Structure 1
């Protein structure tokens, strides 16, 4: 779940450049959802998207000494993610790749994930209008609580409260209505 940053982003980047792991964790929490959503939209399954998120943040940590000079961190992060995705997609779909050669296992993984996405969509539709708005802005669009508050004309605390209730309601809906499959959806989709 994205969290409000305890410092201004520039301060966090300076702390990370100095090796501060707590500051790094704060940035990770803030941008995990955005990077994951981006990876998930291009990669064939959730596991690969999760691996991509880890790779992006490993790169950030490896290049932490330069972080203090970055003027627009989010843009820089998106460029890193995009470049890593392009490299990964080139590995997955090399030149001359034939979609007819997709294996049954690949197809099954994609279908399983699509089913989990369908379950999540059903759970999201059961939320109140405001919870649905906050959930989508946070989890789909990757907005921070501050950005959500500004866009919806609510306080940051109210944004947090709506997201917390939305996640609780989604988990309850999935587990109550779909049992083990719903629990799987919670673990995979609600990180």
Structure 2
């Protein structure tokens, strides 16, 4: 896979920082297929890969003035792409943990199609609104599968504090979902079990 670009890349990047759309198009057309292959190996989903690439190139264009501080564009682009892909995978895993638990506890729910996307979106919103300390503890417990004692040791905080943060996270997520969904009761039943993990 050749990484050669038929133009002076430094010159193209300089033109992009000044808002040159033609230079941006050249960079986009060159790197898009290379990055597609790279990212798709990580996420293993063509639609998700396309979405990630759109976000990456949009971010590059919107923050183009910052490119003047990038010494080597290609490594910068690869690191950015890997970071974005891994974040996407973590977010998906986080959402799936809740939906998997939910489907076990409330099998009457239809986990497919638009309803599932709506549920995922609502869950994301609920988790993102958590205070940082609650979100961190909740993620370590539910996504990283760490026991509460391990979380306490890792973060250097007392076990009762971990338990308190988990209870706060569960309560806030449940309240958020309850206020926005007729499925609130079912979700609350599932969430009530989250902080019971030892």
Tell which structure's C-alpha radius of gyration is larger. 2
Q: How high is the TM-score relative to the length of structure 2?
A: 0.46
Question: Which gives a bigger RCO, structure 1 or 2 (Cα 8 Å, sep 6+)?
Answer: 1
